């Protein structure tokens, strides 16, 4: 069914007022292919919407919004060589993790990794597009392949891990966001690999330092969930998209210069470069807990921008640009939004 002048207020986690000229929810691949045949994607400007947890509508959208509601498939296959998870792209990513852990608890067969991504909001498809990550793990580490519908041809195509150009919060699907619609995803634990718990990030390391006994994916999931709940505002009370900015990556030379001036700078090794904590940069600029009108920075985590109720999408963008400018002036580093801006 196609809706006209459809309100998107409850379809974005910032809760900003915006509407779509046209709106539809896709529940089957057949429906999606029919839309391609009927030229919906060539005759209209369009935007593919997942859970709306990483999306900021800056104004009304003068085109077609397509909501991903594909949820027909979820399966766990356990063979001699691998534990495989297959899911439709409209499943919540956290639901995938919880179902996986429930299965592992039942079989008493444990493999570690995906539980570090606990409580990241959003769908499985968006997780692939964005290449989500947290606490030393990215979804690409366990990604095998995905099926997509090519929105130009209507054909179903398969992309293996190596085809996806995964990078820091990006993929081929983000780089070609008007061409592909991810419909089904496969993750896998190779049983020939020793999947050890990934606990080296400071927040996790501190939590597990004094823990005795066996660590399980369930315990790590619960711990990560607790950390996130302590840092993140309740979306039902304060509109937000979680982390608003990506952590910038700089050269070792630039980092060494900053380290001389700021001994407490928070950083992480990133191949031959250094990843700097955007939260630390923003806090050093004095934005943590600051509010300007209906927009502000959360007082528990400076990566999180909040809509206190009446902010427009443009209000939030303007505030974010003020933060970007201040960080650039003080540190010579440009931070980029992780949130996707959707404009008319």
User: Catalytic positions, please?
Assistant: 169, 243, 338
Contact 198, 137 (CB under 8 A): yes
- Separation CA 224–CA 221 (nearest Å): 5
The token pair at 323 is 């933060």
Count of positions (residues) in the chain: 344
Q: How far is CA 26 from CA 35, 50, 56, 154, 311, in A?
A: 10, 11, 21, 14, 30
Query: Edge-to-edge strand order for the sheet containing 74-78?
Result: 74-78, 82-88, 180-190, 143-150, 156-160
Distances (CA, A) of 213 to 105, 206, 209: 16, 16, 12
Give 157-160's long-range contacts (Cβ < 8 A, gap of 24+): none
Q: Find all residues with CB under 8 Å of 170, minimum gap 6, and list them.
A: 130, 131
Q: Break the chain down into helix, strand, coil percent, rounded to 5.
A: 30, 30, 40
Straight-line distance from the first to the last Cα atom of the chain, in angstroms, rounded to the nearest whole number: 22
Question: How far apart are alpha carbons 64 and 2 in whole angstroms?
Answer: 9
Instruction: Report the relative pairing of strands 3-7 and 19-26 from DSSP bridges.
Output: antiparallel
Count CB neighbours of 292 within 10 A: 13
CA distance 220 to 209: 13
């Amino acid at each position: 069914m196609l809706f006209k002048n459809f309100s998107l207020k409850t379809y974005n986690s910032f809760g900003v007022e915006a509407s779509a000229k046209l709106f539809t929810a896709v529940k089957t691949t057949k429906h999606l292919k029919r839309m391609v045949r009927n030229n919906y994607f060539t005759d209209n400007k369009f935007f593919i919407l997942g859970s709306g947890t990483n999306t900021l509508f800056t104004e009304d959208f003068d085109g077609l919004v397509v909501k991903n509601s594909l949820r027909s498939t979820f399966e766990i296959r356990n063979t001699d060589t691998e534990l495989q998870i297959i899911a439709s792209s409209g499943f919540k990513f956290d639901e995938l993790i919880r179902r996986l852990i429930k299965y592992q608890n039942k079989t008493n067969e444990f493999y570690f990794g995906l539980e570090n991504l606990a409580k990241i909001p959003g769908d499985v498809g968006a997780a692939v597009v964005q290449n989500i990550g947290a606490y030393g793990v990215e979804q690409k580490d366990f990604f095998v392949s995905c099926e997509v519908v090519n929105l130009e041809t209507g054909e179903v195509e398969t992309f293996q891990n190596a085809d996806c150009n995964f990078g820091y919060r990006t993929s081929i699907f983000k780089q070609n966001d008007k061409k592909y619609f991810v419909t089904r995803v496969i993750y896998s634990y190779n049983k020939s690999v020793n999947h050890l718990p990934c606990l080296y990030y400071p927040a996790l390391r501190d939590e597990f330092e004094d823990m005795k006994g066996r660590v399980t994916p369930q315990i790590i999931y619960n711990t990560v969930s607790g950390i996130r709940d302590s840092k993140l505002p309740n979306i039902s009370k304060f509109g937000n998209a979680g982390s608003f900015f990506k952590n910038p990556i700089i050269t070792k030379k630039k980092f060494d210069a900053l380290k001389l001036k700021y001994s407490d700078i928070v950083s992480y090794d990133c191949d031959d470069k250094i990843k700097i904590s955007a939260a630390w940069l923003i806090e050093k600029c004095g934005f943590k807990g600051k509010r300007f009108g209906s927009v502000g920075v959360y007082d528990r985590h400076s990566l999180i921008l909040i809509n206190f109720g009446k902010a427009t999408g443009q209000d939030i963008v303007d505030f974010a640009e003020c933060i970007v400018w201040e960080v650039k002036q003080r540190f010579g580093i440009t931070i980029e939004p992780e949130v996707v801006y959707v404009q008319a």
